[in-house]
Amino acid sequence: MFANSRTVDSAQTGPHEKLAQLVSRHRDALFRKPFAAYSAGAFDAAIAAWRHAGAAPLIIDAGCGVGESTLRLATRYPEHFVIGVDQSESRIVRGKDWWEGAWPENFVWVRADLVDFWRQLHDAGIRPARHYILYPNPWPKIGQLARRWHAHAVFPTVVALGGVLECRSNWGVYVDEFAQAVELLSGVRPDVEAYAPANEADAMTPFERKYLASGHGLYRCMVTLPAT
């Protein structure tokens, strides 16, 4: 069955009490995790495709999964170039017979470690115009805070990339925490709102479509950040 997704189950009912402490610690420390062996080639291939297409304003679709959101963003923003990034090669190369019509030409998918890809973008001085983190794993257990993107050591780099940053989730706590972390790191207060596409056909990802059909509440955080 399609509309059978369970809501997020968590003992946490509001932002984690240790979030600010953890984000501040990451902000003040140098992140030294070595790059994965394949990261350099993956990054170079994605950036080469972007430059070959004319280095248009860049959109990052972080954790693109099967790539539907990448295609939709490329269609919605034809004057931009979209890089869809996911760590799972099987998701990226999976058949796309669900996509109707011609594919847009202004995009590329790349299998890469997002932690590396974000840092490589920053180190290369490449700043996206728009940046999407759509329905990431919420890691909802109280002890899993550090696994959420906004509490990860790489998040100060994500915020430093600047541009229009948008995060969506079916767990309101995740979006509230994401906004809190962004404001702590940037001084810019994001907009947080309940959100739903007009209908299932307008959903950006398979998860968004399934959550909508299952009657979940959907939420998003949106903010325009300066690049640093």
Residue 1: the pLDDT is 44
Helix, coil or strand: residue 48: helix
Find where tokens 């983190």 sit.
Answer: 133
Q: What whole-number distance in Å separates Cα of residue 176 and Cα of residue 12?
A: 12
Q: What whole-number distance in Å separates Cα of residue 187 and Cα of residue 89?
A: 36
Q: What whole-number distance in Å separates Cα of residue 132 and Cα of residue 168?
A: 8
The mean pLDDT value for 153-180 works out to 98
Residue 3: the pLDDT is 63
Residue 2: the pLDDT is 57
Helices (H), 77-200: 89-93, 114-123, 155-160, 172-186
The mean pLDDT value for 202-224 works out to 94
Residue 201: the pLDDT is 77
Q: DSSP string spanning 89-122?
A: HHHHHS--TT--SPPPSSEEEEE--HHHHHHHHH
User: Is 5 within 8 Å of 165 (Cβ atoms)?
Assistant: no
**H-helix or E-strand spanning residue 70:** helix 68-76
Q: What whole-number distance in Å separates Cα of residue 103 and Cα of residue 140?
A: 36
Say if residue 4's pLDDT is above 90.
Answer: no
Domains of the chain: 18-27+36-89+101-225 (3.40.50.150)
User: Is 190 within 8 Å of 183 (Cβ atoms)?
Assistant: yes
Residue 226: the pLDDT is 93
Residue 187: the pLDDT is 97
The mean pLDDT value for 177-186 works out to 98
Which structure tokens are listed for 211? 């959550």
- Tens digit of pLDDT for each residue in 128-159? 999 999 999 999 999 999 999 999 999 999 99
Cut 0.85: pTM above it: yes
The chain-wide mean pLDDT, for the chain, equals: 94
The mean pLDDT value for 67-75 works out to 96
Of 122-126, 129-133, 209-213, the one with minimum mean pLDDT is 209-213
Of 2-11, 12-21, 82-91, 154-163, the one with minimum mean pLDDT is 2-11
Residue 137: the pLDDT is 96
- Tens digit of pLDDT for each residue in 84-118? 999 988 888 888 888 888 899 999 999 999 999 99
> What are 22-30's contacts with CB under 8 Å, separation 24+?
22/145, 22/146, 22/151, 23/150, 23/151, 23/155, 23/156, 23/180, 23/181, 23/184, 23/185, 24/184, 26/151, 26/152, 26/153, 26/155, 26/156, 27/156, 27/184, 27/185, 29/153
Tell me whether strands 219-225 and 130-134 are parallel, antiparallel or unpaired: unpaired
* Amino acid identity, position 196: A
